[in-house]
Structure 1
């Protein structure tokens, strides 16, 4: 992977991790057209995911600090309940990840037709939010579990994780700011957990994991993903507040249709 490819894929990862257009789908499509096998480069995958996780932490640093501080009060307060809901939302994706890891990995093999089809489904999910009435509900334990199920479906490349979880929360009548905050914070533990597991694989076989990418390209990919993620996260919060997800639905329809037409004809 060249320096240019690392920067481009880092930007794609950073933007699409938060914008509801599927980071995994765009990485697959981007890798396909660039001819870069980033999905096979374990170390690069860890680096860019760590970058987007860090951007989330920076944006929500005050909320995260408040939750951590309140947890050590050992009380059943609002922060403790929020953390418990995050844990509950992780159960579905954890179960699916453990039981079907090998089958899931087969979906990430450059099958851009499948990815394009899933982008069309993401577009449909976002379109429905346009016709959903604004709610003022909180994220209850029941809603947290349902949002967690939506995150599990987003394992499929082309299904946007943020799109699926935020859309589901809005369908359930959750207030927009709460829906966005929960969606972005609920992904931190799975991302960090997956990165840790992959990091152990790097330790076991560093030569294989690193592939053919240089240290400079890795650093550039990290910086690109972090900056793009920082901007996209803040932008997405504002977009959800204004109810403008329909524009991303149109984007998903255009990209998905374009890729399908390119490959079918």
Structure 2
């Protein structure tokens, strides 16, 4: 193995770990990846869509593992309600409906305005949107909602769904936007977190399906399969432990730390870009 091959392997592993670490927490993984590539001069060999598909799929698997019991409960009791009409299972059934409704805005806007959103991918945009994320997190830092799953409404699902659509803009954290919207609506932080990441599943699956053609047409897979594999595994492990850590942060109500981080990093990035 020569130096160039070793560098490629280490680069893919680093970016996989970096994406996995930042995916669950409310600081925008896509924005941070863009900044990392810009400031470190790191370019992805091969098809960038393949890399994004692999690391995002790894994060999806981590979410599925952590929320497997919730998913099983929704499938058994929520879908079972259609047949049994058991009143005790109606909350799970409604929750599934809310997940479907919450997915629609991001899906539609992502398909209709994909090219326009792509044109916003720049370090300057990320710097500004990081500050927006920080302000939003700061405003809801002390909110302690009381509504759980059985208190959610269709209006909540629509508002959170549009918040997720806003997060299509680079630098706006998907988890941050949805959690901020949910908590601003008076939803308990644990329910807000659960809904946010269960909402991530259909969006991520949809993105995976749409990216499959790019993955299958990537002529570099045979050559880069090992770096791709390391990026996937790095993202999987980092996403799992990052989400576990974030769940603990949410339970303690310490979102202020992420607000401060975004409000510090955003202006620094903007200043460096202005001076360079």
- Give the structure-1-normalised TM-score: 0.92
Aligned counterparts of 2:271 and 2:79: Cα–Cα separation in 1: 55
Which one of the candidate residues 217, 226, 245 is aligned to 1:216? 226
User: Is the 2:142–2:253 contact (alpha carbons within 8 Å) kept by the matching residues of 1?
Assistant: no
User: CA offset at residue 72 of structure 1?
Assistant: 4.4
User: CA offset at residue 67 of structure 1?
Assistant: 1.2
Which one of the candidate residues 133, 151, 155 is aligned to 1:122? 133
Aligned counterparts of 1:225 and 1:159: Cα–Cα separation in 2: 20
Which one of the candidate residues 234, 242, 258 is aligned to 1:248? 258
Aligned counterparts of 2:246 and 2:178: Cα–Cα separation in 1: 13
User: CA offset at residue 243 of structure 1?
Assistant: 1.0
DSSP 3-state at the match of 1:2: helix
Aligned to 1:228: 238
User: CA offset at residue 213 of structure 1?
Assistant: 6.8
User: Is the 1:130–1:246 contact (alpha carbons within 8 Å) kept by the matching residues of 2?
Assistant: yes
Aligned counterparts of 2:205 and 2:191: Cα–Cα separation in 1: 22
| Larger mean Cα displacement after TM superposition, 145-154 or 27-36 | 27-36
Aligned: 1:59 with 2:71:
no
User: CA offset at residue 36 of structure 1?
Assistant: 2.6
Aligned: 1:68 with 2:78:
no
Which one of the candidate residues 102, 110, 121 is aligned to 1:89? 102
Aligned counterparts of 2:221 and 2:40: Cα–Cα separation in 1: 17
Alignment of structure 1 residues 155-170 onto 2, 5 Å: 155-170=168-183
User: CA offset at residue 38 of structure 1?
Assistant: 4.0
Aligned: 1:194 with 2:204:
no
User: CA offset at residue 212 of structure 1?
Assistant: 10
Unmatched tracts of structure 1, length 5 or more: none
User: Is the 2:15–2:231 contact (alpha carbons within 8 Å) kept by the matching residues of 1?
Assistant: yes
Unmatched tracts of structure 2, length 5 or more: 1-6
Alignment of structure 1 residues 18-167 onto 2, 5 Å: 18-38=24-44, 41-73=48-80, 74-75=82-83, 77-108=90-121, 111-132=122-143, 134-137=144-147, 138-167=151-180
| Larger mean Cα displacement after TM superposition, 44-53 or 229-238 | 229-238
Aligned counterparts of 1:37 and 1:185: Cα–Cα separation in 2: 32
1:122-145 CA distances to partner (integer Å, 9 max, x unpaired)?
A: 10011001243x111132211011
| Larger mean Cα displacement after TM superposition, 231-240 or 76-85 | 76-85
Aligned counterparts of 1:212 and 1:166: Cα–Cα separation in 2: 40
1:52-99 CA distances to partner (integer Å, 9 max, x unpaired)?
A: 000000000111111122244224522221111000001111110121
Aligned counterparts of 2:96 and 2:223: Cα–Cα separation in 1: 37
Aligned counterparts of 1:64 and 1:48: Cα–Cα separation in 2: 22
Root-mean-square deviation over aligned CA pairs? 1.8
User: Is the 2:50–2:214 contact (alpha carbons within 8 Å) kept by the matching residues of 1?
Assistant: no
Aligned to 1:7: 13
| Larger mean Cα displacement after TM superposition, 253-262 or 69-78 | 69-78
